[in-house]
Structure 1
Amino acid sequence: MRRMSTDLVDRSKGVLLGLMFGDALGAPFEGWPPSEIRSYALKELKSPSGLVNKFVEAVHMGTFVAGPEPGTYELAVGEVNLIAHVAKTQAEFFSSGDLQRGYPGTAQKGLRLIMEGVSYKETGEPPHFPFAGGSFANGGAMRISPLAVAFRESTAEVLRMAVEEAIRSSHRHPEAIDGAAAQARAVQFLLSSIPICSFGRPESDTLPGSEGGSRTETGEGRQGDSTPSSSALLQTGDFFGALRAVCRTDAYLSMLTALEERLKFFSHCNSQPEGDSHEKDEEREREEDASGPSVSGSEEDERELRSILKEYKRPGSGMGFQIASVHASACVFWIFWRYGRRRVRAMEAVQQAVGLGGDSDTVASMVGALVGALHGWAWIDTVLDGSTRRDGSGETLLSQLENGKRGRDYVTQLAFKLLQLSLDTVEELEKS
């Protein structure tokens, strides 16, 4: 059995539990506009910030969601089973047990075709999929985050190849592949990054290693990559440069550049150029910690993202519902970078993702996976509403997550199984 650092175990759990948590928090608000979410949070949840601060009923299903919204989470866990060889295929996972919840019609059709003997290499294209070129939707990116844990030591090129193969059955469009590759690369990058946990200062001087102990600041051990030094690990250019390294389409390359430039502008206006003294950051963050998140932040994010995404029109998609991969990814990376880098704002990052509305469970689950990759899972083991740090039931959010047949304990076990793998080639994925 592979030995690994406690930090890396926590981060692997964080990826899966963060995905699960974001899915659960966002599920009831899928399809809602941001203004209605803010109004509901202010009036019904008594949230001063206008952010969702507890699990509520999933209105579209009429059931209480104290756990994953079917679809996002179940598909991702199916992907983990495929990687970790708990089930031989995702199709077998789908057909087993009684939790075939929320798989969209296209996913169900594809999995049934595979079970009937159709090659997974054919199910994502005509005649099995109705549109030539395949789906540009966000489903591949939605479920891919766990793969990055297994490929945490691989090069960016190998990671992209693995992603493309993993989502081939459902998403063949170049933008869908870019979206999944960028999400996986973000998880991979953050798994070996130093979190900013206290007023902009790094938590430690070393990076988490995969073989008991820590990795050095040079990033030695990730083949073919140049990992920045610890002082620069979470600078905007490094992060977005890492994402562009796995993207091929003009849309994704230009969208990521637009996000980077706009986020650098925000960083400059709100504090100081990256790399300068932390003194102004400390003062600003103390003020933020004292006052908590604000409604204006959500409105600002919505406005900025609309401005960026107007250049990337896709049929049936937009800020109203970010079904297109390029739209969902922009929301995920924007929200994570503005809020998720600092441990004190880890929870807020997922709340802000929900607050964007539209495909809220997908976007929030992807943000949750990124936050978990950087900060581990402990940020979920908390409460949200008020100074008592307790919600109405007196339970932490983590304890409220579903824990049935495929609930949080099951996910925790899968997170550990993923760490037994350290894949460097696509062939290893096929054999694992």
Structure 2
Amino acid sequence: MIGDQLGAGVEGRSSGRIKHDHGVVRDDIEAPHMGIPELGPRIHMYTDDTNSMLALASSLVLNSGLKPIHAARSYAIFWSTGIKRGYPDSAQESMRCVLEGKTNYQECGRIAFPDGSFANGGAMRIAPVALAFRHASDDQLYEAVRMAIISSHVHPEGIDGAFVLAKAIIFALHCQSVNDFNPLEFLTVLQSTARTEGMQKQIQKLILFYNEQNGLHNASSKKHRADVDVVRALGNTFQIKAIEAVPCALWIICVSYREPEECLIRGVNMGGDTDTVAAMIGDIIGALHGREWIPTRWYDHIEPNSEGNMGRGRDYAIDLAKKLAAMDLNSVLDDNE
């Protein structure tokens, strides 16, 4: 939630534009949120990213497991009730399809894109699955990820982005302390885990960049890359593709994992899909560091439970997280159970 809010006010702007307008963004910015400019400036409010994540978390808790049809309906209900968030048209089409019930929910993700969406919307919401399935095998985790987002994301790269992010969160969760986190091992595990060539190639780039930056191949010729240069090397500067957004988040973790606050700040200031990338970074850094590092100025401004958001604020999210942490899943429930 923190990363989502921090990036929401500058979403869609380039790194250069952010620097020109705000210097270095270190706190929430008051500005219209992408997709809903008509609602005017907002601050200390989350976006569609957190809304979808909360919908999935709620479904997991209510069912004591992952029931895909319920998760699909939860996304649609959270979208259509409470405060309006900035969902893209394609996401709204898939959720409207689920609510109407005329098409099998597993096909609703093909309404806007016949081959499915390769975007980062599946990854941005997947943290609850990572937490609940943290001891599952890779095959069990992949199936859980696939079914959790099947109503909106059926493209292999969209699924793989969510799968790799879930695996990254679990890797961080399993570190006993921050000193146990090894960036190169982290990237190597994720590359071997990824199931699409596109994602594998992106992580291979990160391994190369990390080795060059740390002189692991040639100590006398370290090569530093600015964050914006890494973004460009990975693809579009607005990281809408899952195989672009997730690697951007992974890079920031690898180079700043000991400084959790700085991780989120760097994630926002690299520009592009700032709220989504920062939310992903927050997922991993939270798994690695817990919550004690969170600055009071950020924690106190996380969107609170309110009548407007139907009680879906900070305290609601914390309660869901505690319940997810008590779960230990390894299979997907049948829709008829």
- Tell me the TM-score normalised to structure 2 length: 0.86
Name the residue aligned to 1:123.
108
Unaligned runs of 5+ in 1: 1-19, 43-50, 197-201, 203-232, 274-296, 311-317, 383-395
1:306-325 matches, within 5 Å, as: 306-307=232-233, 309=234, 318-319=236-237, 321-325=238-242
Q: Is the Cα contact below 8 Å between 1:120 and 1:169 reproduced in 2?
A: yes
Higher CA-based Rg: 1
Q: Deviations over 1:221-264 (max 9, x none)?
A: xxxxxxxxxxxx42233212321243221111111111112112
Q: Deviations over 1:300-339 (max 9, x none)?
A: 11113323x25xxxxxxx01x1111111112111111111
Q: Deviations over 1:44-85 (max 9, x none)?
A: xxxxxxx212212123442332131x2111011111112222
Name the residue aligned to 1:333.
250
Q: Which amino acid counterpart does residue 254 of structure 2 have in structure 1?
A: W
Name the residue aligned to 1:416.
322
Q: Is the Cα contact below 8 Å between 1:84 and 1:418 reproduced in 2?
A: yes
Q: Which amino acid counterpart does residue 249 of structure 1 have in structure 2?
A: T
CA 1:146–1:272: 2 relative to 1, 3 Å:
farther
Report the more deviating stretch, 21-30 or 419-428.
419-428
Q: Which amino acid counterpart does residue 360 of structure 1 have in structure 2?
A: T
Q: Is the Cα contact below 8 Å between 2:163 and 2:194 reproduced in 1?
A: yes
1:3-402 matches, within 5 Å, as: 20-42=1-23, 51-60=24-33, 61=37, 62-68=40-46, 70-85=47-62, 88-92=70-74, 94-95=76-77, 97-117=81-101, 118-125=103-110, 128-129=111-112, 131-196=113-178, 202=179, 233-268=180-215, 300-307=226-233, 309=234, 318-319=236-237, 321-339=238-256, 341-342=257-258, 345-382=259-296, 396-402=297-303
Hey, what's the Cα distance between the residues in 2 that align with 1:59 and 1:37? 15
Hey, what's the Cα distance between the residues in 1 that align with 2:3 and 2:144? 25
Q: Deviations over 1:165-209 (max 9, x none)?
A: 11111111111111000000001111111333xxxxx3xxxxxxx
The SS at the match of 1:57 is coil
The SS at the match of 1:415 is helix
Q: Is the Cα contact below 8 Å between 2:28 and 2:43 reproduced in 1?
A: yes
Hey, what's the Cα distance between the residues in 1 that align with 2:14 and 2:98? 37
Superposition deviation, residue 272 in structure 1: 7.3
Hey, what's the Cα distance between the residues in 2 that align with 1:180 and 1:115? 24
Hey, what's the Cα distance between the residues in 2 that align with 1:167 and 1:410? 22
Hey, what's the Cα distance between the residues in 1 that align with 2:184 and 2:27? 34
Q: Flag the structure with more relative contact order, 1 or 2, with Cα contacts below 8 A and sequence separation at least 6.
A: 1
Q: Which amino acid counterpart does residue 24 of structure 1 have in structure 2?
A: Q
Hey, what's the Cα distance between the residues in 1 that align with 2:3 and 2:219? 31
Q: Is the Cα contact below 8 Å between 1:81 and 1:93 reproduced in 2?
A: no
Hey, what's the Cα distance between the residues in 2 that align with 1:252 and 1:56? 32
CA 1:272–1:423: 2 relative to 1, 3 Å:
farther
Unaligned runs of 5+ in 2: 306-310
Hey, what's the Cα distance between the residues in 2 that align with 1:418 and 1:424? 13
Report the more deviating stretch, 366-375 or 240-249.
240-249
Q: Deviations over 1:125-144 (max 9, x none)?
A: 2xx23x33111111111111
Q: Is the Cα contact below 8 Å between 1:81 and 1:90 reproduced in 2?
A: no
Q: Which amino acid counterpart does residue 176 of structure 1 have in structure 2?
A: G
Name the residue aligned to 1:387.
none
The SS at the match of 2:214 is helix
Q: Is the Cα contact below 8 Å between 1:135 and 1:170 reproduced in 2?
A: yes
CA RMSD of aligned residues (A): 2.5
Q: Is the Cα contact below 8 Å between 1:136 and 1:324 reproduced in 2?
A: yes
Q: Which amino acid counterpart does residue 60 of structure 2 have in structure 1?
A: I
Q: Is the Cα contact below 8 Å between 2:72 and 2:149 reproduced in 1?
A: no
- Please state which structure has a larger fraction of its residues in helix: 2
Superposition deviation, residue 346 in structure 1: 0.4
Hey, what's the Cα distance between the residues in 2 that align with 1:195 and 1:264? 23
Q: Is the Cα contact below 8 Å between 1:55 and 1:66 reproduced in 2?
A: yes
